[in-house]
Structure 1
């Protein structure tokens, strides 16, 4: 049995650090796109358009009932047959955003539906139109209620970035595979990568917790 040797980790640490930053970039971009899709999807479902509701429901069902790996392969390998060619990083961000957005739609919808209908009626009585009511009266308290669930979903999305190595997107797992292939120090490499993913998850959790405490805290006198 070979003795453990973490010197390879120290030698290749700059590469691991760059891979970690790339993973964070993919995760944050995917989260931002997922939130846009989530809010827009809920707004469309509440718009009264049957076609819009059908499109959103169909999108959610397709994404939630297919593996992420199949989704990212479809975007990267199938869309070029229709003339749409994307580089691995762009593909990864879009796939992460679509996947996270489908779950965000359902999470946000649950929060919106928890708001008493009287709030909407009060907004109508004040002369607000549906868009203003949704943005000013419903969305903020709904986001406050479901913020912990969104945070958990975004942590999961961060870990899902590791699958993006399947299309050669530059991120932490791809860097780890390259280092492992060069050094054959699988235990040391993947032990370190596991620790990095844990640290990244805790860091994002702390950041999201800080943002939540600032954005959704109740005002005090």
Structure 2
């Protein structure tokens, strides 16, 4: 088999690849922040005294974690539109990603919160700390610190999973790659470039999360604990 590699036509489309990578970064950033907030609220709700709220969160987590992200995005963008609920593609994509990663974040944060020993909470209360201070400084922040590596991996996986959204019309990196491939007919070169860009984005995200950990968790830096 004879194949002549030609990257010239593909690399000439670098503005499109840059545009697609930027869309991927924006989708991931919004979904990461909102998904973390949603997952944290749900993790807190799991410990609620209200059985109905616990059941609601458990149902949400099970429904999302046991169905594909692609099906969820199709349901939100195309399924809902069939009953008159329409939304822009970008909004629908972010919503699907937030709902998806929120369920996984809920389980990760729940494990972190449950890892806090009750004795630590009792000690803080004995020192006269307010309930909000106890929850923030003794429960929530230490819980995030303990599960931070898992959260980091989950959000990197979310960025990689954003490639699925090209199937619903999002012009992120894979969507742009498909467009360039249809114009140049250089499938190997196009998707090799896309592979490299995704790899670079993954390492960039890990570097950003490592720097955030140094800022929010100085104790780990002092002890030399891996971030």
TM-score (norm 1): 0.94
Ranges in structure 1 where 5+ consecutive residues have no aligned partner: none
Does the aligned pair in 2 maintain the 1:22–1:172 contact within 8 Å? Answer: yes
Alpha-carbon distance between aligned partners in 1 of 2:166 and 2:143, rounded to the nearest angstrom:
35
Q: 1:122 aligns to what? A: 123
Q: 2:77 aligns to what? A: 76
- Deviation of the 1:128 alpha carbon: 2.9
Alpha-carbon distance between aligned partners in 2 of 1:27 and 1:178, rounded to the nearest angstrom:
21
- Deviation of the 1:82 alpha carbon: 3.7
Alpha-carbon distance between aligned partners in 1 of 2:42 and 2:89, rounded to the nearest angstrom:
26
Alpha-carbon distance between aligned partners in 2 of 1:37 and 1:108, rounded to the nearest angstrom:
11
Which secondary structure does the structure 2 equivalent of 1:196 belong to? helix
- In the alignment, structure 1 residue 139 sits paired with structure 2 residue 140: yes
Taking only aligned residues, the RMSD between alpha carbons, in angstroms, comes to: 1.5
C-alpha distance after superposition, 1:38-87 (max 9, x if no partner): 11111212221111111111110001000111111110111123432111
Does the aligned pair in 2 maintain the 1:176–1:193 contact within 8 Å? Answer: yes
Which secondary structure does the structure 1 equivalent of 2:218 belong to? coil
Alpha-carbon distance between aligned partners in 2 of 1:2 and 1:42, rounded to the nearest angstrom:
53
Which secondary structure does the structure 2 equivalent of 1:86 belong to? coil
Alpha-carbon distance between aligned partners in 1 of 2:171 and 2:7, rounded to the nearest angstrom:
23
Of the structure 1 ranges 38-47 and 56-65, higher mean CA displacement relative to structure 2 is found in: 38-47
Which secondary structure does the structure 2 equivalent of 1:66 belong to? coil
Mapping 1:206-217, distance limit 5 Å: 206-217=207-218
Of the structure 1 ranges 179-188 and 46-55, higher mean CA displacement relative to structure 2 is found in: 46-55
Alpha-carbon distance between aligned partners in 1 of 2:56 and 2:125, rounded to the nearest angstrom:
27
TM-score (norm 2): 0.92
Of the structure 1 ranges 186-195 and 210-219, higher mean CA displacement relative to structure 2 is found in: 210-219
Ranges in structure 2 where 5+ consecutive residues have no aligned partner: 223-227
Alpha-carbon distance between aligned partners in 2 of 1:72 and 1:134, rounded to the nearest angstrom:
34
- Deviation of the 1:177 alpha carbon: 0.4
Does the aligned pair in 2 maintain the 1:43–1:134 contact within 8 Å? Answer: no
Alpha-carbon distance between aligned partners in 2 of 1:133 and 1:51, rounded to the nearest angstrom:
26
Of the structure 1 ranges 115-124 and 94-103, higher mean CA displacement relative to structure 2 is found in: 115-124
Does the aligned pair in 2 maintain the 1:38–1:108 contact within 8 Å? Answer: yes
Of the structure 1 ranges 87-96 and 75-84, higher mean CA displacement relative to structure 2 is found in: 75-84
Does the aligned pair in 1 maintain the 2:10–2:186 contact within 8 Å? Answer: no
Q: 1:101 aligns to what? A: 102
Mapping 1:29-40, distance limit 5 Å: 29-40=30-41
Alpha-carbon distance between aligned partners in 1 of 2:81 and 2:91, rounded to the nearest angstrom:
13
How many residues align? The count is 219
